[in-house]
């Protein structure tokens, strides 16, 4: 299979598709994001638990936000790369979302951020997602 590196290629692949019902899942995704963010904050604040869990839970919060944004535009994904490309095309290129959110997501996924940095990035991402979904 060819390398998928554009939104059009994603839509021509099985990894991104139009779904008229996608927006019905946004509430659940944002509830998951809030839950993961709260859990990460609790671990970070109390110092109980593994600090790596702060990063993992922060990543899950950001992943839910990415999905919610793309679902808001009527698409569903079956692959992370196409999810990210869709978010870049639908939100970053039009200037609605700073590319730094995507970079922080990638760094968090690779556990390249300290737990407090992951938590801060996830908090910003959740806040910005809520703003975008409210427009």
Q: The domain that contains 128 carries what CATH number? A: 1.20.120
Q: Residue 42: which domain range? A: 18-134
Q: Is residue 9 part of a domain?
A: no
Q: Is residue 8 part of a domain?
A: no
1 pLDDT exceeds 80?
no
And the tokens for 93?
């290129």
- Residue 55 parent element (H or E): helix 51-72
Report helix, strand or coil for 13.
coil
Q: Is residue 102 part of a domain?
A: yes
Span 33-86, pLDDT tens digits: 999 999 999 999 998 989 999 999 999 999 999 999 999 999 999 999 999 999
Chain-centre distance of CA 43, in angstroms? 21
Q: Is residue 27 part of a domain?
A: yes
Q: Is residue 49 part of a domain?
A: yes
Q: Is residue 130 part of a domain?
A: yes
What is the tally of structural domains in the chain? Answer: 1
Span 4-39, pLDDT tens digits: 789 999 999 999 999 999 999 999 999 999 999 999
């Amino acid at each position: 299979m060819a390398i998928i590196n554009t939104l059009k290629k994603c839509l021509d692949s099985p990894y991104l598709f139009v779904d008229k019902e996608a927006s019905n899942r946004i509430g659940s995704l944002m509830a998951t994001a809030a839950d993961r963010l709260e859990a990460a904050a609790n671990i970070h604040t109390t110092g109980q638990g593994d600090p790596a869990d702060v990063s993992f839970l922060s990543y899950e919060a950001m992943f839910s936000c990415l999905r919610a944004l793309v679902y808001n535009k009527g698409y569903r994904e079956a692959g992370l790369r196409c999810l990210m490309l869709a978010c870049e095309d639908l939100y970053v290129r039009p200037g609605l979302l700073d590319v730094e959110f995507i970079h922080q997501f990638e760094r968090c996924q690779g556990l390249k951020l300290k737990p407090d940095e992951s938590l801060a990035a996830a908090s910003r991402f959740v806040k910005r997602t809520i703003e975008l979904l409210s427009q």
